[in-house]
Amino acid sequence: MEKIPPGTPEEGKDILIAFFPIATHGMTIVGYNDSIRYDLNGDGQFTNDMDITGDGEVDLKDWEIGAYRIANSYGAWWSDQGFFYAMYRALALDYDNGTGSWIPANGVWNHSVYVVEPDPDYVPLLTAKVNMSHNLRDRIRIKAGIASDTGKLIPERILELPSFAFQGGEYPMLGLDSVSSPEEIEFGLDLTPLLSFVTPGQPVRLFLIAEEKDPEH
DSSP label at residue 196 = G
Strands across the sheet with 65-71, in order?
2-3, 14-16, 83-87, 65-71, 28-37
Could you give phi then psi for residue 35, rounded to 5 degrees?
Answer: -100, -10
The domain limits of the chain are: 1-116, 127-212
In this predicted model, what pLDDT tens digit does every residue of 79-118 receive, in sequence order? 999 999 999 999 988 877 655 555 567 888 777 888 989 9
DSSP label at residue 5 = P
In this predicted model, what pLDDT tens digit does every residue of 40-82 receive, in sequence order? 999 999 999 999 988 899 999 999 999 999 999 877 888 999 9
Q: Is residue 194 a contact partner of residue 160, using CB atoms and an 8 Å limit?
A: no
Residue 122 binned pLDDT confidence (cut-offs 50, 70, 90): very high
